[in-house]
Amino acid sequence: MPNRVAPPRLVLLLCALLAALGLAVSAAPAATAVPVPPGAGDPGPVAGDTTELVMTGFGHGRGLIGGVPDGTPFDPLAGYPRTSTFSGPLPRGFIERNEDFAGTITAASADGSLTSVLYCIDLATTTYPGIGYRIGSWDQATVPNVGYVARTLTTTYPAVPGQPAGLSGDDERAAAVQAAIWFFTDDYVLDRADPLRGAVADLVAAVLEAGRLDPPPLPELSLDPTFASTPAGDAAGPFTVHSDLDETVTVRSAGATMSTDADGDRPLAQDAQVGDGQQIYLRSTGAGSARLRATGVQTVRTGIVYLYDGNTPGVGTAQKLILATTARVQVRAASDAQFLDPGSVQVSIVITGDAAGRQGAATVVLSCRPGQDDVRIDVPPGATGTSTRIVRGIPPGSFCTVSEPDTGATPAVAVSVAVDPPGRLTVPDGGTVQVTVTDTVTAVMGSVQVDTAIAGPAAAEHGAALVLVSCAGQASVSIPIPAGETTVEPVTVTAPVGTLCTVTEPTDGSTDTVRASVHIDPTTVAVPPGDPATVAVRNEYQVVPPPTTPTTTPTTTPPTTPSPTSPTSSVTPTTAPSTTTTPTTITGSTSSSTVGPTSTATAPTTAVSTSTATPTTTATAAPTTVTVTTTPTTPTTPHPHVLPDTGVPAGLVPAAAAASLAILIGIGLLVPGRRRRSARHR
C-alpha cells in the first residue's frame, strides 16, 4: 500500500506558499499540531522577563493517519484497540483526523544559551516559533494521563536513542512516540493503514505494563512580593529571592537602582550574583515603573511541563509541551515596582447633635494599604464644629479606609458615626481624596422618681400642697397635692443623664388648724443612667392647738415715806385716749429725785393714790381712764423724826398704809356698782 504521508518539509513549504498567495486549503482538516505562524499583520511573539523557554521550530517526525472518538466514551488505559474491533480503517465510534506532523519540538532559553527537545501533549491546540513558555505543574496543565506520558519518554527517543526499535530512522521513532503520547492525552488512534500502528500499539502496551511515573520536582525561583508601589524618591521593597537552584541567581533591574538596604548605602550592581533569601530594594528619583528580574539555571528531569506564558498579543492559548530529555533549563522570576507622585487624604471631622460638646475623647484612624502604617487622628473631649487633617505622602493607588474605634460616647451621651464616602478610597497620583466623618452626639436620657407620702394625725385635714422638680436646663415639673389627699402617686421626671435635679415644696399644705412638717431626701440628685434615682418627700401634718387667754395678777408696791416737800397729785377721770395702755396696776414711788413732765396712762378703771413720791402706783380693773398728774418739787433735808432714806415722817407710815388699803377697798366696791348701773341702762 503506498505511503499516504507527505514529507514534513514539503508540507511546510506548501503551507507557506498558500499563505503567501492568500489561498484557503479546505480539502483536509487543519494540522493544528504543526507550528503555524500568525497571519499577515498579526503581532509577532513576545518573550517577556518571565519567559523561560521559546519555541524555535521542530525536529524529527512525520505525518500521521488516524482519528479520534466522535464523542463515544473511550478509555486509553484499557489498551490500544485491536484491528479486530475496527469497522473500517478506524475503531467503531472514531472519526478521521490526520496530522501533517508528529514529532519533536525544538526550543531554547529566552537568551538562546540553552536548548531543549519537547513533545506536544495538546493535540487540538497550535503553536509556532517565538511563542514563550514557563515551567508549570502537571495539575496546572490539566492534561490526562501525564504520568504515562512521562513513562513513555523515559524509554524512547530522544532520551533512549534507537527506541522504539524496528523503525527506520529518528523521524519514524519521533512520530511513533508522539502518536503514543497523543493516545494517552487525546485518545488518538492510528488508522490500520498507517505503517507505525504496530510499533505504537506495542509501545503503549509496554508503558501500561510499566505503570505511570510521579511528577518530577520543579525548580523554584521567585521574588516576593511580585509588586510594590511607593512615592518617588523612596525605596520599593524589599524583594526577597527564594531559590532552591544548585547555582547562584543573577539579578538585574530596569528603571531603578538596586541595593541591599532601604537607604541605598549598599548598592547592588547589574547582573550581580545572589543566593536564596537575599533582599533587594529598588529606588528611583522620579515617578515611573521599574522591574527586578532574577535568572537561574537548573538541571531538570524528563517530564517537566511547559505552559504558554501569555505574553504574545492576540494569542489566548498555545500548545502545551513536555520535556523529552533531562536538560539544563533556564528559570526566571520578576517583580514590578511603581514609583508615583504621592497623594493625600483630607479627613474632615464634624461634631454635631443636641449634646455636642459633652462627649469624651475620640480617635479616627486612616488605614491605607499596601505597606502604610495607620494614621491616628485624636479628637479632644468636648470638641464641637469641624476640624480637618490632611495626611500626605500616600502612594497613589493605595486603598484607604476611615474608621472611628473610639467615638467619645459616655454614659451621658451616645455618638453615631457616619463616613462619607463609605468604604474604600483610592488615592490618586499626586492628588487628594476627601472623606468626612460626622459624629452626631445625643444625650442619653435618665429619670428621677418622686415618691410623696402624707402622714400624721391631721393627714386628711391639710390644705393644697405643691411639690416642684427643677432640673437644670429644663422647665420645672409641678406635682400638685389636693387638700385632704392622703395618697400621692409616684411621679417620674425624664432628663439627660448627669443633669442635677432639685426637689422643693413651696406650698406645704399648712392651714390655721394644721401644721406641716416636710422632709425631702435628697433635695438634689444627679440623673443616673438606667434605673431612676428616687427622691422621697414626706409631709407630716399635726393639729394646731387653740390659743389660750392670758391671766392678769394685780401687783402692789408698798408705799414709801415721802420727803418733807411732797408733790401734789390729783386723779382726774377722762375718756380721752392716752399715750400708754397698761394692764391694771398700782404704782408708787419712794424716789426723792426730781420728777419729769406730766405723764398720762390709759387703763381700765384706774385709781391712783396721791403720794409725796415721784412714781405712781396704778391698779387696773375696768375700761375707765384715769389721769394722774404729778408736780415735781425740790427735795428738802429730812426731819430728824423722818424715817431714814425715805423722807417720810415715822408717824405717817401707819397712816399711809391705812390710806392705801382704803383705796383698794373703794376700788373693789366701785367696780361692781358701775357694772350694775351699766346693766340697768341696757
Helix ranges (H only) for 162-310 are: 170-186, 197-210
Report the distance separating Cα 340 and Cα 368, nearest Å. 15
- Residue 654 neighbours by CB distance under 10 Å: 9
Task: For strands 580-581 and 601-602, give the pairing.
Answer: parallel
Give domain status of residue 351, yes or no. Answer: yes
**pLDDT at position 518 over 70:** yes
Q: Supply the mean pLDDT for the chain.
A: 82
Distances (CA, A) of 680 to 573, 621, 677: 22, 20, 5
Give domain status of residue 101, yes or no. Answer: yes
Q: Please answer whether residues 311 and 132 qualify as being in contact, where contact means their C-beta atoms are separated by less than 8 angstroms.
A: yes
**Same domain flag for 30 and 178:** yes
User: Considering only 252-256, 468-472, 612-616, which range has the smallest mean pLDDT?
Assistant: 612-616
Q: Please answer whether residues 447 and 493 qualify as being in contact, where contact means their C-beta atoms are separated by less than 8 angstroms.
A: yes
The parent domain of residue 103 ranges over 8-210
| Tens digit of each residue's pLDDT (9 = 90 or more) over 422-461 | 999 999 988 999 999 999 999 999 999 999 999 999 999 9
Q: Please answer whether residues 448 and 421 qualify as being in contact, where contact means their C-beta atoms are separated by less than 8 angstroms.
A: no
Give domain status of residue 639, yes or no. Answer: no
Could you give the percent of the chain with pLDDT greater than 90? 66
330 grid coordinates: 533556564
Distances (CA, A) of 326 to 260, 495, 578: 36, 87, 151
CB-based burial, 432-451: b 16+ in 10 Å, e otherwise: ebebbbbbbbbbbebbbebe
Q: How many CA atoms are closer than 13 Å to the CA of 521, on its beta-carbon side?
A: 4
**Same domain flag for 432 and 449:** no
Give domain status of residue 247, yes or no. Answer: no
The 8-class DSSP code of residue 555 comes to -
CA torsion sign, 34 to 39 to 44 to 46? negative
**pLDDT at position 287 over 90:** no
The amino acid occupying position 241 is V
Q: Which residue has the higher pLDDT, 181 or 656?
A: 181
Please give the pLDDT value at position 666.
Answer: 53
Q: Please answer whether residues 144 and 165 qualify as being in contact, where contact means their C-beta atoms are separated by less than 8 angstroms.
A: no
Give domain status of residue 3, yes or no. Answer: no
| Tens digit of each residue's pLDDT (9 = 90 or more) over 374-383 | 999 999 999 9
Report the distance separating Cα 425 and Cα 99, nearest Å. 56
Report the distance separating Cα 670 and Cα 436, nearest Å. 107
**Same domain flag for 449 and 581:** no
**pLDDT at position 643 over 60:** no
Domain count, the chain: 4
**Same domain flag for 195 and 87:** yes
**pLDDT at position 139 over 70:** yes
Helices (H) and strands (E) in the chain, counts: 6, 41
**pLDDT at position 364 over 50:** yes
Give domain status of residue 272, yes or no. Answer: no
Task: For strands 288-300 and 249-254, give the pairing.
Answer: antiparallel
CB burial of residue 461 (10 Å; 0-12, 13-18, 19+): middle
The 8-class DSSP code of residue 209 comes to H
Confidence at 654, pLDDT banded by 50, 70, 90: very low
Phi, psi of 667 (to 5 degrees): -60, -45
505 grid coordinates: 415644696
277 grid coordinates: 533569601
**Same domain flag for 119 and 88:** yes
Q: Among residues 160, 193, 210, which one ends one of the domains?
A: 210
| Tens digit of each residue's pLDDT (9 = 90 or more) over 301-332 | 999 999 999 999 999 999 999 999 999 999 99
The amino acid occupying position 651 is G
454 grid coordinates: 402624707
Measured distance between the N- and C-terminal CA atoms of the chain, rounded to whole angstroms: 180
Report the distance separating Cα 69 and Cα 123, nearest Å. 13
Please give the pLDDT value at position 291.
Answer: 97
CB-based burial, 128-146: b 16+ in 10 Å, e otherwise: bbbbbbbbbebeebebebb
Report the distance separating Cα 442 and Cα 354, nearest Å. 6
Could you give the percent of the chain with pLDDT greater than 70? 74
Report the distance separating Cα 157 and Cα 163, nearest Å. 5
State pTM to two decimals.
0.53
**Same domain flag for 109 and 197:** yes
Cα angle, residue 585 at apex, residues 579 and 588 outer, rounded to 5°: 95
Report the distance separating Cα 637 and Cα 625, nearest Å. 36
Report the distance separating Cα 132 and Cα 47, nearest Å. 6
Q: What is the dihedral of CA 52, 54, 60, 66, to 10 degrees?
A: 100
**Same domain flag for 415 and 365:** yes
Report the distance separating Cα 293 and Cα 49, nearest Å. 7
**Same domain flag for 567 and 451:** no
Instruction: Let me know how long the chain is.
Output: 682
Output the DSSP codes for 458-519. Answer: TGGG---EEEEEEETTS--EEEEE-TT--B---EEEEEETT-EEEEEEEEE---SSEEEEEE
SS3 content of the chain, % helix, strand, coil (to 5): 15, 40, 45
Contacting residues for 321 by C-beta, under 8 A, at least 6 apart: 53, 55, 105, 107, 118, 119, 120, 121, 127, 133, 305, 306
**Same domain flag for 30 and 148:** yes
Give domain status of residue 294, yes or no. Answer: no
Q: Among residues 443, 472, 490, which one ends one of the domains?
A: 443
Q: Among residues 192, 210, 228, which one ends one of the domains?
A: 210
**Same domain flag for 63 and 133:** yes
Q: Please answer whether residues 444 and 496 qualify as being in contact, where contact means their C-beta atoms are separated by less than 8 angstroms.
A: yes
**Same domain flag for 94 and 132:** yes
Average of per-residue pLDDT across 243-255: 96
Please give the pLDDT value at position 429.
Answer: 85
Domain CATH number, residue 500: 2.60.40.1140
Please give the pLDDT value at position 664.
Answer: 60
Please give the pLDDT value at position 681.
Answer: 43
| Tens digit of each residue's pLDDT (9 = 90 or more) over 89-130 | 999 999 999 999 999 999 999 999 999 999 999 999 999 999
Give domain status of residue 23, yes or no. Answer: yes
Confidence at 581, pLDDT banded by 50, 70, 90: very low
Q: Please answer whether residues 399 and 343 qualify as being in contact, where contact means their C-beta atoms are separated by less than 8 angstroms.
A: no
**Same domain flag for 49 and 162:** yes
Phi, psi of 461 (to 5 degrees): -115, 5
